[in-house]
Structure 1
Amino acid sequence: MANERRMLVLRAVIEDYIRTQEPVGSGALTRTHDLGVSSATVRNDMAALEDEGYLIQPHTSAGRIPTEKGYRYFVDRLATVVPLSPAQKRGIRTFLSGSVSLDDTLRRSARLLAQITGQVAVVASPSLARSALRHMEMVPVSSATVLVVVITDTGRVEQRTIISADRPSDEVLGRISARVNAKCAGRSLRRCGIDVGLLAQEEPDVANRGVMDALARVYDELATQEQASNLYMAGTSQLTHGQTADMAVIAPLFDALEEQAVIMRLMTALSEVTQSHGVGIAIGSETHTPGLMHASVVTTGYGQSSAKEEGDEAGETPSGGEPVAFVGSIGPTHMDYATTISAVRAVARYLTDFMTNEEGGADDDTGH
């Protein structure tokens, strides 16, 4: 029972510290929380929590603040997340409905998430490796050049050129495009590369086969292309202008944000291993990133891959349905976790609905 009460004291300390960013004393706790015990008992509990590594006393005779271990215990047992207000829900809908393209939607989503949380928002564009082919066109540009336009199910449009000294006629290029679309629509770009390579082997005409082999290489390149540059960030200025901005913490965080490939790997991995409330959370050293030792990351995936791989029959619902990208928030370890979790999850749901053009479900940010 004493241990159970001690953990209630820990939760109270963390809630107060998140709200005030000031060390919390036993007297303040007994005044603001109904713990049912005296200030002396609370003081003893706080001393025990410090011995166990959940709290630390930054200065002698001062109150205590949570440690990384304390935050982890708190986050893992977070009972509820704060629902977004009707105004915030309307704000998300307005931001998305006013966008003119997928890139614009992602940029707007990052700005809005940063406004809700007061932290750095990071939104990744859909991964080509997890995208499926919607449509492909081969457009003749010159006597030796063909422009390949690939449109994915996530709205990405990629263009590549193929150089062929013996370019097929416009009519033949049209027939090749039709064959590839009929064979590959709905399949992952990696699978498209394989399928187009197989179609090329069946092609008797040498010039046609050369163009189809080059097209297969285009799909292979797209499927393995790194997307580290396609990150949309917002909210860095809000961190620096916050009332409790600590430049000793913020400066290394900014350095970490400059390393976009590092942020991409961290948040992608974290979004694939969801923890409490359907999000992935890394606190301090759990990020394995030096610049984020005093920061926390909350992220989750959005969208759902419809790409079919080998073993998936045509027309069959693809297995897996993994997210195509992530949305997340980066802030100090004393962030408001409940609000951040709710906001990240809600924006992810709106992005998923936007990409699938489905109505309904966007008002529900409870995760159920």
Structure 2
Amino acid sequence: MVTDRGLQVLRAIVQDYVDSHEPVGSKSIVERHAFGVSAATIRNDMALLEDEELIAAPHTSSGRVPTDKGYRVFVDHLAELRPLTPAQRHAIASFLDGPGDLDDLLVRTVRALTQLTGQVALVQYPSFARASVSHVELVPLDAGRLIVILVTDTGRVSQRLVLLRHELDETTITRARTTVGDLIVGRSVRDGVQRVEEFLSTADDPTRHDDAATIAIVRFVAEELDEFRQDRLVMAGAANLARRESDFRGSIYPLLEAIEEQVTLLRLMSEMVADEHGLATSIGRENASFGLIEASVVASDYDATGARARIGLMGPTRMDYPSNLAAVRAVARYLSRMLDDDENAR
């Protein structure tokens, strides 16, 4: 059973180890923290923490480092979120303020977060299955080429270059624009996908009079709508893993692979259980089923006009949890406000 003072000693060990990257001994704890007891008493508290597998000796050094279990206890019971400084809040506002579509805003969000923390920043796109398509535009470039633009009521903008084998005169483009608009504009992405699939399922019917160019354009629209329904991540700061490779006990390759593939990180981000404040943390061996036992992930929920998604950080288990959790919470709240303001302005 760990005493209250033992938990405070754990807090000191975590904080000092994160700051110094050196195993923490009883003498340094007495010197740096006002416990009002002797080094021998602190050593007894540390022995109890070691019995509970909350700290461990990395080698013959007399110092101790937190285990994954120790970090978990620290985060669950001891970590107080450190308020961001005015300079940090100004940096967030500077990065995120200004016009731009959702894609641009999420890119700026992860760039801001990785600069604030020095970790890999991740943000999920909100689910657009329930979003409605508010506008469709076909922009001809030259013979056989045009750009298809789709806009949703949640701010998602898609631009796709379409290459066709057919001549595109103004009549053909107008007819295709009308057909696509009738199928999806004013409807949810989910309903639009269904209507497009129904249209394409009868495209070869000889009684239909749709021209080949229109059918081809509708096929491209179907692919783009399917992209809208899929979960996606935007990331920044992967180079920080290489800079901090010494913080990892083993190889960083599984983390780099997860960044490249995205699927693993999407599952992990989605399955993390949030607390009452919308914050979630997954530490070290808790990520074993995802092959990421070398990493910790902290995340916060954000709201995109009713659709929930997450913004987070990935890095070594030796990370500054209070500061990183405060950063993802602050950026998530700022992002939610910006998306809400944008929605109200429509």
Query: Which band: TM-score by shorter chain?
Result: 0.7 to 0.9
Cα distance change of structure 1 residues 175 and 151 upon mapping to structure 2, 3 Å threshold: same
Contact 2:294-2:317 within 8 A present in 1 as well: yes
TM-score, reference length from structure 2: 0.78
C-alpha displacement at 1:79, in angstroms? 5.0
Corresponding residue number in structure 2 for 1:57: 57
- 1:221-246: per-residue Cα shift (whole Å, max 9, x none)? 33443978863312624861xxxx45
For the residue of structure 2 that corresponds to 1:24, the secondary structure is coil
The amino acid of 1:156's aligned partner reads: V
The amino acid of 2:336's aligned partner reads: T
In 1, Cα distance between the equivalents of 2:209 and 2:149? 20
Corresponding residue number in structure 1 for 2:182: 179
For the residue of structure 2 that corresponds to 1:206, the secondary structure is coil
For the residue of structure 2 that corresponds to 1:22, the secondary structure is coil
Question: Residues 1-368 of structure 1: matches in 2 within 5 Å?
Answer: 3-35=3-35, 37-60=37-60, 62-78=62-78, 80-98=80-98, 101-124=101-124, 131-139=131-139, 148-152=148-152, 153-159=154-160, 161=162, 169-180=172-183, 182-184=185-187, 187-188=188-189, 190-197=190-197, 206-208=208-210, 217-218=219-220, 220-225=222-227, 231-234=234-237, 236-237=239-240, 240=243, 245-247=244-246, 249=248, 252-253=251-252, 256-267=255-266, 269-271=268-270, 273-276=272-275, 277-288=277-288, 292-304=292-304, 321-323=307-309, 326-358=310-342
Cα distance change of structure 1 residues 248 and 209 upon mapping to structure 2, 3 Å threshold: same
Contact 2:92-2:112 within 8 A present in 1 as well: yes
C-alpha displacement at 1:81, in angstroms? 0.8
C-alpha displacement at 1:260, in angstroms? 2.7
Contact 2:84-2:326 within 8 A present in 1 as well: yes
User: Structure 1, unaligned stretches of length 5 or more?
Assistant: 307-320, 361-368
Segment of structure 1 superposing worse, 336-345 or 13-22: 13-22
Q: Aligned pair count?
A: 337
The amino acid of 1:27's aligned partner reads: K
Contact 2:122-2:311 within 8 A present in 1 as well: yes
In 2, Cα distance between the equivalents of 1:271 and 1:280? 10
C-alpha RMSD of the superposition: 4.0
C-alpha displacement at 1:347, in angstroms? 1.7
Cα distance change of structure 1 residues 157 and 80 upon mapping to structure 2, 3 Å threshold: same
- 1:330-355: per-residue Cα shift (whole Å, max 9, x none)? 22212110110111122222233333
Cα distance change of structure 1 residues 17 and 146 upon mapping to structure 2, 3 Å threshold: closer
In 2, Cα distance between the equivalents of 1:90 and 1:70? 34
- 1:57-90: per-residue Cα shift (whole Å, max 9, x none)? 1233511111001001111124521111111111
User: Structure 2, unaligned stretches of length 5 or more?
Assistant: none
> What's the % identity of the aligned pairs?
35
Cα distance change of structure 1 residues 9 and 85 upon mapping to structure 2, 3 Å threshold: same
Cα distance change of structure 1 residues 78 and 129 upon mapping to structure 2, 3 Å threshold: farther
The amino acid of 1:133's aligned partner reads: V
Corresponding residue number in structure 2 for 1:310: none
Contact 1:257-1:263 within 8 A present in 2 as well: no
For the residue of structure 2 that corresponds to 1:281, the secondary structure is strand
Contact 1:131-1:305 within 8 A present in 2 as well: no
Cα distance change of structure 1 residues 82 and 146 upon mapping to structure 2, 3 Å threshold: same
The amino acid of 2:210's aligned partner reads: N
